[in-house]
């Protein structure tokens, strides 16, 4: 798609695009030519070649494992073990920290957590697992045009937790990953002892970071369109038309703080482009699953964290998520949407750590 098509002369079509703005899942509607109908054979060939051509190099202490889902497809998991506390610190191991399971959003994959947050939380004594959703990062891609639905992504996360994680973890979801976490906790068991195969495994808590709110991003789009049309235009160009993949300033403005160094923006831009060759969702189906159903377990600890300089999720979106779960959202100054990669990544990590340490390990 050429950027010339996005001049203000085309405002009505920008409007239409903005309503379809869904972090890339809508591109099939935006192109003039209908999508080519690939037959099963070519699709299978495409899917085999899905893996990232520029693989993410793991940091010290990290390992890459693959979790095989019941479908036979493999999910990439980057693991970093939590540093053990000195025995003198505590007499027994009752105070073992819950493992953390990180869920990325659109255009990202497990690597986005591996860069700063996995080392940080593992040093602080937490076992960390960062997943790549299907069709993203080094995970296998299903056949079809999109990677899944809120339900299938939440089910994949649940399958991983059921089979690989011993203690009830804390789920940490970013952006659209936050919406997947919301779907997970709408279908989670009430306690450790409840046995119900149709509900997702019990967890210790859930944190939503710069998350798409429970009603989806439709509200955000319309707010932007009427209050900040230029921002709406920019976001649409950046995300729906994927200009962030080719323009360094647009990539910085969409995901990072202004102070972010060029080399870093370029590096992450390349990884983002590589991470997602298949949209996470089909927007039309996503819309049908929204708003997210309420919590099955109202006593589940939920944390809603946002960033003041978030160009994608506005303050009202953050407050909507807080209201939905009956918690006061925390909004951090001087941090942009990608709070785990931003130059000020440590600010969000510290706030999340302090919430984590307030959780009762006996629960």
Ligand X SMILES: *[C@@H]1O[C@H](CO)[C@@H](O)[C@H](O)[C@H]1NC(C)=O
Please give the residue ranges that form the binding site for ligand X (CB under 6 A): 19, 196, 198-199, 284, 287
Q: Rounded to the nearest whole angstrom, what is the least distance from the CB of residue 171 to ligand X in the complex?
A: 19
Q: Which is nearer to ligand X, 50 or 285 (CB)?
A: 285
Q: Rounded to the nearest whole angstrom, what is the least distance from the CB of residue 113 to ligand X in the complex?
A: 31
Q: Which is nearer to ligand X, 22 or 204 (CB)?
A: 22
Question: Locate tokens 């300089």: which residue?
Answer: 309
Q: Rounded to the nearest whole angstrom, what is the least distance from the CB of residue 269 to ligand X in the complex?
A: 29
Tokens of 81: 């073990």
State the greatest distance between any 2 C-alpha atoms of the chain, in Å, as a whole number.
70
Query: Helices 262-275 and 248-255, interaxial angle, to 10°?
Result: 80
Q: Rounded to the nearest whole angstrom, what is the least distance from the CB of residue 196 to ligand X in the complex?
A: 4
- Sheet of 205-209, strands arranged across: 62-68, 74-80, 128-131, 100-103, 170-174, 205-209, 302-309, 330-336
What distance in Å separates the CA atoms of residue 221 and residue 68, rounded to the nearest whole number? 37
| Residue 30 host element (H or E) | helix 27-30
Q: Which is nearer to ligand X, 18 or 171 (CB)?
A: 18
Q: Rounded to the nearest whole angstrom, what is the least distance from the CB of residue 193 to ligand X in the complex?
A: 12
Q: Which is nearer to ligand X, 275 or 321 (CB)?
A: 321
Q: Which is nearer to ligand X, 187 or 247 (CB)?
A: 187
Q: Rounded to the nearest whole angstrom, what is the least distance from the CB of residue 3 to ligand X in the complex?
A: 24
What distance in Å separates the CA atoms of residue 106 and residue 280, rounded to the nearest whole number? 6
Q: Which is nearer to ligand X, 78 or 203 (CB)?
A: 203
Judge residue 114's burial from the number of C-beta atoms within 10 Å of its C-beta, 0-12 exposed, 13-18 middle, 19 or more buried: buried
Q: Rounded to the nearest whole angstrom, what is the least distance from the CB of residue 249 to ligand X in the complex?
A: 30
Task: Round to the nearest angstrom and report the end-to-end CA distance of the chain.
Answer: 51
Helix, strand and coil in the chain, % to nearest 5: 40, 15, 45
Q: Which is nearer to ligand X, 194 or 354 (CB)?
A: 194
């Amino acid at each position: 798609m050429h950027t010339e098509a996005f001049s203000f002369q085309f405002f009505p079509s920008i409007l239409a695009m903005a309503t379809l703005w869904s972090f890339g899942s809508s591109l099939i509607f935006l192109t003039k030519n209908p999508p080519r109908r690939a037959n099963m054979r070519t699709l299978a060939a495409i899917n085999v070649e899905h893996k990232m051509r520029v693989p993410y190099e793991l940091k010290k202490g990290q390992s890459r494992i693959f979790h095989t889902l019941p479908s036979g497809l493999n999910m990439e998991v980057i693991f970093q073990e939590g540093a053990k506390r000195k025995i003198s610190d505590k007499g027994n191991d009752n105070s073992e920290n819950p493992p953390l399971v990180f869920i990325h959003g659109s255009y990202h994959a497990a690597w986005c957590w591996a860069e700063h947050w996995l080392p940080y939380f593992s040093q602080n004594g937490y076992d960390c697992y960062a997943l790549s959703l299907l069709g993203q990062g080094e995970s296998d891609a299903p056949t079809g045009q999109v990677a899944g639905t809120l339900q299938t992504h939440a089910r994949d996360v649940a399958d991983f937790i059921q089979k690989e994680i011993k203690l009830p973890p804390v789920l940490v979801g970013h952006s659209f990953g936050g919406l997947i976490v919301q779907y997970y906790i709408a279908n989670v068991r009430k306690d450790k002892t409840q046995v119900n195969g149709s509900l997702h495994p019990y967890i210790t808590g859930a944190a939503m970071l710069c998350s798409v709110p429970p009603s989806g991003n439709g509200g955000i789009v319309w707010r932007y369109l009427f209050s900040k049309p230029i921002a709406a235009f920019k976001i649409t160009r950046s995300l729906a038309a994927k200009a962030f993949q080719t323009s360094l300033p647009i990539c910085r403005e969409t995901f990072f703080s202004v102070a972010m160094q060029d080399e870093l923006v370029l590096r992450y831009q390349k990884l983002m482009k590589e991470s997602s060759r298949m949209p996470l969702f089909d927007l039309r189906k996503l819309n049908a699953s929204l708003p997210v159903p309420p919590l099955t377990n109202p006593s589940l600890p939920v944390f809603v964290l946002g960033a003041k300089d978030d160009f994608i999720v506005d303050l009202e979106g953050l407050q909507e998520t807080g209201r939905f779960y009956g918690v006061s959202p925390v909004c951090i100054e001087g941090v942009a949407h990608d709070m785990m990669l931003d130059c000020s990544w440590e600010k969000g990590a510290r706030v999340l750590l302090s919430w984590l340490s307030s959780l009762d390990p006996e629960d």
